[in-house]
Structure 1
Amino acid sequence: MNLLSKFLETADRRGDNIAVIAGNGQRISYGALAQNRPVLPRIGAAKA
């Protein structure tokens, strides 16, 4: 397990809302992803 995934797992257990930068630059909520909820990313740039 790499350090980033360990950090995210720990923070998710605490219930923190963490924004993760996806490869395409979109910020998504890791907590929502972990709970299998539909995620509407906040997009700073134009949608691809």
Structure 2
Amino acid sequence: MPALFGGVRAPSTLGTVLRAFTHGQALQLHAVHRRFLAALAA
């Protein structure tokens, strides 16, 4: 990997991103998802 990518790399795994969400943000995303799916079904 060091031969392909020089310098410092930031962690960018999905788990790192998901752990950054607070409970309130997760509830907001769930509400948006629910409305989006309802609009698709309509």
| TM-score category of the 2 structures, normalised to the smaller one | 0.3 to 0.5
Larger RCO (alpha carbons 8 Å, 6+ apart): 1
Of structures 1 and 2, the larger Rg is shown by 2
Using structure 1 for the length normalisation, give the TM-score.
Answer: 0.30
User: Normalized per residue, which structure has more helix?
Assistant: 2
Using structure 2 for the length normalisation, give the TM-score.
Answer: 0.34
User: Normalized per residue, which structure has more strand?
Assistant: 1
